[in-house]
């Protein structure tokens, strides 16, 4: 993987760049739709490419490991062949899923012992076998095993957790460097900065991760219960240390406003389930604000879902029609909303890139934050 930093905003730390992988180029800043089980819920690959204009998608190691399982994925020739997506894929390590299954897991120095949410069977993730698992899945970018602490974790616990994540990283890196990809194309390994909401821990972790000299770096453990302003502060602390010539991936974040604030602070890559999960529940993101499509006010509004979104809105669908579909519990409602929200997110980061290159990002971002925060 290669990264070219193409432009930096003169009034902020926002950046425009290009990541090159064996499955294609990614122009940053970029949002990655989440394909947990090898599919973005309710969305065809054709729609991902043509309507949403996704350049890279994310798969989840924990879920793919359990279903369909590594044997099937290896026989298929990896996830690209299995799901028909021929552009880049990133896989997380499963660390966040294990964190969210706190009642069914036990952390040890060796790794994480957990029980499947499907059938209760017992498994273990170690820094080494998570590398092997992601080798078999075949993602272009794979992540280190880490522990994601809650945003409210006490200092002592956060420090202990960070130190274990660092020890796991050394083991994972050693194993990654001693093994080869399985399907004839290269894979890249990203370490993850942890440290909860404590400035000194975040600094220590960022310095440790930066010292490993990998092709890219991730920021984890944010948007997990802490206030947004604290999250922004932690991003600033970390990005002061992470190398500027490597892409920075903020994991699991977030709202459109979160994304713009993080871009301003020097983040290049994002993923989040919000556009699809919220879309399935009737929440739509637009250039002028947020809409709840179940509200009666849309019942006789025959204007397009996002009148300003000429580049990503299917104007065949009106607000009134989409509301009708949600009230009638038609599956098409969830599909339209998911495609719309993902297309909006990709439009947002693409437009941010254009504004960075044009030198107008700071002013554009300020006006967009006001509009994106509005409830319509």
The catalytic residue positions are 92, 271
List, edge to edge, every strand of the sheet that includes 2-8.
2-8, 15-21, 24-28
Rounded alpha-carbon distances, angstroms, from residue 53 to 20, 56, 298, 346, 350: 17, 9, 28, 7, 10
156's tokens: 């002592």
Tokens linked to 218? 């991730």
**Per residue in 72-82, is it b (16+ CB within 10 Å) or e — as a string?**
ebbeeebbbeb
User: What are the CA-CA distances from residue 233 to residues 120, 218, 259 (Å)?
Assistant: 39, 16, 14
Strands 289-292 vs 122-125: parallel, antiparallel or unpaired: unpaired
* CA distances, 65 to each of 75, 77, 107, 135, 312 (Å): 14, 15, 19, 12, 34
The C-alpha atoms of residue 139 and residue 226 are separated, in whole angstroms, by 30
Q: Which two tokens stand for residue 27?
A: 């122009």
Q: 132: exposed, middle or buried (C-beta count within 10 Å: 0-12, 13-18, 19+)? A: middle
């Amino acid at each position: 993987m290669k990264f070219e930093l193409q432009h930096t905003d003169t009034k902020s730390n926002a950046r425009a760049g290009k990541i090159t992988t064996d499955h294609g180029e990614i122009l940053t800043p970029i949002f990655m739709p989440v394909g947990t089980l090898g599919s973005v819920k309710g969305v065809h690959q054709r729609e991902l490419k043509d309507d949403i204009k996704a350049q890279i998608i994310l798969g989840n190691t924990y879920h793919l490991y359990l279903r369909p399982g590594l044997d099937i994925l290896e026989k298929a020739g990896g996830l690209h062949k299995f799901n028909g997506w021929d552009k880049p894929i990133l896989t997380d390590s499963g660390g966040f899923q294990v964190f969210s299954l706190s009642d069914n897991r036990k952390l040890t120095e060796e790794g994480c012992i957990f029980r499947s949410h499907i059938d209760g069977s017992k498994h273990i993730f170690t820094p080494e076998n998570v590398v092997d698992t992601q080798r078999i899945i075949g993602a272009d970018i794979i992540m280190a095993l880490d522990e994601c602490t809650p945003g409210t974790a006490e200092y002592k616990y956060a420090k202990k957790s960070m130190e274990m994540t660092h020890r796991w990283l050394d083991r994972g890196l050693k194993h990654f460097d001693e093994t080869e990809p399985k399907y004839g194309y290269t894979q890249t390994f990203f370490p993850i900065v942890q440290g909860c909401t404590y400035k000194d821990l975040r600094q220590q972790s960022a310095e440790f991760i930066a010292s490993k000299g990998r092709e890219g770096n991730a920021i984890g453990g944010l948007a997990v219960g802490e206030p947004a302003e604290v999250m922004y502060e932690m991003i600033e602390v970390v990005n002061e240390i992470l190398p500027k010539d490597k892409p920075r991936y903020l994991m699991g974040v977030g709202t459109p406003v979160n994304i713009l604030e993080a871009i301003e602070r020097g983040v290049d890559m994002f993923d989040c389930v919000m556009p699809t999960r919220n879309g399935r529940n009737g929440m739509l993101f637009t250039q002028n604000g947020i809409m709840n499509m179940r509200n009666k006010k849309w019942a006789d509004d025959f204007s397009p879902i996002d009148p300003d979104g000429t580049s990503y809105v299917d104007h065949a669908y009106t607000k009134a029609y989409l509301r009708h579909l949600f009230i009638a519990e038609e599956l098409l409602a969830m599909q339209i909303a998911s495609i719309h929200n993902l297309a909006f997110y990709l439009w947002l980061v693409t437009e941010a890139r254009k504004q960075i290159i044009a030198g107008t990002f700071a002013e554009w971002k300020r006006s967009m934050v006001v509009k994106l925060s509005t409830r319509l």
